[in-house]
Structure formats: C-alpha cells, structure tokens
Amino acid sequence: MPLEELTVADLSESELLARIFPRLNQSPSILLGPGDDSAMVAAPDGRMLISIDTQTQDQDFRLEWNNGYRTTGFDVGWKSAAQNLSDINAMGGSATSLVVSLTMPPDTPVEWVEGFADGLTAGIVGLGAPDCSVAGGDLGRGREIAVTVAVVGTLDGLLPVLRSGAKQGDVVAVAGTLGRAAAGLALLESHIPVVSLTAAQRALLDSQCRPVPPLAAGPLAARNGATALMDISDGLLRDAGRLAVASNVVLDFDPVALAQYALALEPAAAELGRDAMSWVLGGGEDHGLLATFPAGIQLPEGFTAIGSVQAVAPSQGSGVRIAGQAADTVGWDHFAD
C-alpha cells in the first residue's frame, strides 16, 4: 500500500512506533529512552522543572482552515515542541526531555504521524534545544487528534524566575514577537486563499502554525537579574495582568514602544480590515517572553523595553495600564467567552 493511503488502523502499535522512533533525536540527558514502563532522565542539580500542554484538533488548530490551508503533522509537532519548550524557557530554564501522548482517529494517515514526529524533532533542534529529546510516549485512539506533551527541564543550579517577583521601578521588557501569530490566525480564518498569500502574509501564517519562541532569552534573562518572567501564550494584556496580580504591582506600557510591534502588522491588518494593535495586545501563541528587570541595568540581548512597573495605588488594584490608562483585558480564556 502506498504511504499516502496508509492509516494508523493498518498498523499495530509497535509497527507505528517503529516508524516514529527513528525520526526522534537523541540527547544525553535521556538515561533510559522509550521502550520500558517509564523513561529516566538526568536531573543534575537535583531539581526538575515540569510542565504539560495539550493541543486539540478544532480547538488549537483546524485540520483544514477557512483559507484552504491544511495543518500538517509537521506543524502540530513543531508547535507542540515550541509551546512546551517555551514553558521551561519562561522559568529561566532549559528543556531536557519531553514525553508525548498522541491520540488520534484510526483513519489518521501514517504520513501525518510521521510528519508529526519530524516536526517535533525539527522544532526541538530548530528552536535551539538540541540537548532535549523525546524520552517516551503514549499512543491512543480518539475521535479527534489531541497531542499532549509534558516537558522537563533544568535550571542548571539557578533559581527559577517566577511571575511574582516584579518590583516597583523595574523595567518591563519583552523578547520575541508580538501579534504575529494572531495575524497568522486571522489569515487562516480569512477568505484569502492560502495560494494567494504574499510572502509576508505567509510568514505570518507560519508564525501561527510553527511559532519561534526565543529559547535563549529565558536563561539569559535569569542570569541577567530578571525579577519576573513568563511566556506570553494567551496575549500580552492577559498574561501581563497575571504577572501584575502575582507580583501585586501595576505594569504600565509605553504606547510608543508597542506601536513598533503593530507597525509591522499594518499591511496584513489593512488587507483584512483588522486592528494591528489588538493583535499585539491580545494575541498569544508567539510564545514571546515578558520580563521585568531592575531599572538601570542593560537589558540582555533580544529584550526590548515596553514599560515600567509601578506600585499599586490605594484606590486601584494590581493590573495593566497603557500610558497610565486602564487597559481592557483582551486575550484567550479556554472556557469563558
């Protein structure tokens, strides 16, 4: 049977695994890899960061989008790597291994699964985490495709940088892109056929399907005195609001700094009749980093100042402002609309 016609129902679990394993990279942090009841990974400093994230078909991606783009297994594999590696990055750590659960309907093409494994590996290596690899996993059947990845990582002896450490007077800075993944999502949901996209528009679409979190920036921020750190996965305002609450401070954004991010998105926004700044403020999934640093220190490479940390005024609680004005929270909540 030609590969493009083969589905997972045509293979046993071990046959499917035999097609997946050779596509995964190897790293020395895996002391015992797939094949037993558990894997074993090194935790040299006696501590381990851990996080878990799920992508579900028709919630986090569509197999076929409104504009005709078909999400590949490679896309989902890459994005799984990106969003999980970002959670370790956001603590100031480096990912050392992943365990992966892939649930899918029996008619899922084997080619899609092979692409998923390839995308996972390409994401890990391409995003700059070659010392991370897949330690183990689980395959199962479901009505929809769902991928859950748990990631573990090391701080190499450093303290984790939490959301709760921002102090009055700190500089607020971001690393990575803002709003590009949201612009890409708008293009995927638009009526502009994928084949008609300009190169710039296609690059925005790619930011949604294969995001590029700044993985070097987390440990760099930790080593350079960041007081608070988190990844922006649900939108700048929403995530900044969480950091503000955790630190009991006000984050005040500089609209001029934010405008630089919107500027690059203006052509796509104009084409779609959308507002570029709302992508910058509300869009997640670029998996950029939001950090605070003590005032007066030189920001590490890759970080751009976008505001300052202020004390909570007696009359108002913690939260986010733009040039001193209350910013309406927009962004992603999984259940509330």
CB contact set of 45 (below 8 Å; sequence gap of 6+)? 154, 155, 156, 157
Q: Is 129 in the site for its own copies (CB under 8 A)?
A: no
- Residue nearer to its own copies on the CB measure, 97 or 201: 97
* The binder of its own copies chosen from 48, 257, 305, 312 (CB under 8 A): 48
The rounded radius of gyration (Å) of the Cα atoms in the chain is 21
Interactions with its own copies, residue window 56-95 (CB under 8 A): 56, 58-60, 86-88, 90-91, 93
- Residue nearer to its own copies on the CB measure, 3 or 9: 9
Environment class of residue 128 by beta-carbon count within 10 Å: exposed (0-12), middle (13-18) or buried (19+)?
middle
CB 158 within 8 A of CB 108: no
Q: Is 329 in the site for its own copies (CB under 8 A)?
A: no
Per CB under 8 A, the segment of 62-70, 139-147, 307-315, 318-326 that binds its own copies is 139-147
- Residue nearer to its own copies on the CB measure, 137 or 283: 137
CB 161 within 8 A of CB 289: no
CB 149 within 8 A of CB 52: yes
The Cα 14–Cα 20 span in angstroms is: 10
Q: Is 25 in the site for its own copies (CB under 8 A)?
A: no
101 has which bridge partners? 138, 148
Tokens of 54: 């799920």
Cα→Cα distances 214→183, 185, 211, 231, 295, Å: 19, 20, 10, 10, 22
- Residue nearer to its own copies on the CB measure, 18 or 259: 18
CB 283 within 8 A of CB 221: no
Q: Kindly state the smallest distance separating residue 18's Cβ from its own copies, in Å.
A: 13
- Residue nearer to its own copies on the CB measure, 151 or 327: 151
Binding residues for its own copies, how many (CB under 8 A)?
A: 74
Residue identified by tokens 């708008």 is 186
* The binder of its own copies chosen from 77, 119, 137, 284 (CB under 8 A): 137
Q: Is 5 in the site for its own copies (CB under 8 A)?
A: no
* The binder of its own copies chosen from 6, 21, 42, 267 (CB under 8 A): 42
Q: Is 38 in the site for its own copies (CB under 8 A)?
A: yes
Q: Is 3 in the site for its own copies (CB under 8 A)?
A: no
* The binder of its own copies chosen from 20, 24, 39, 127 (CB under 8 A): 39
* The binder of its own copies chosen from 20, 24, 27, 41 (CB under 8 A): 41
**104: amino acid identity, one letter:** M
CB-CB neighbours of 323 under 10 Å: 12
Query: Dihedral of the CA atoms 198, 202, 204, 210 (nearest 10)?
Result: -170
CB 200 within 8 A of CB 72: no
Q: Is 106 in the site for its own copies (CB under 8 A)?
A: yes
Interactions with its own copies, residue window 240-259 (CB under 8 A): 246
Q: Kindly state the smallest distance separating residue 24's Cβ from its own copies, in Å.
A: 15
Closest CA to 75 of 8, 29, 122, 13: 122
* The binder of its own copies chosen from 231, 252, 285, 286 (CB under 8 A): 231
Per CB under 8 A, the segment of 9-17, 116-124, 271-279, 298-306 that binds its own copies is 9-17
Residue 184: alpha-carbon gap to chain centroid: 14
* The binder of its own copies chosen from 23, 24, 51, 221 (CB under 8 A): 51
Q: Is 100 in the site for its own copies (CB under 8 A)?
A: yes
* The binder of its own copies chosen from 16, 125, 272, 305 (CB under 8 A): 16
Interactions with its own copies, residue window 144-173 (CB under 8 A): 144, 146, 148, 150-153, 155, 160, 162-164
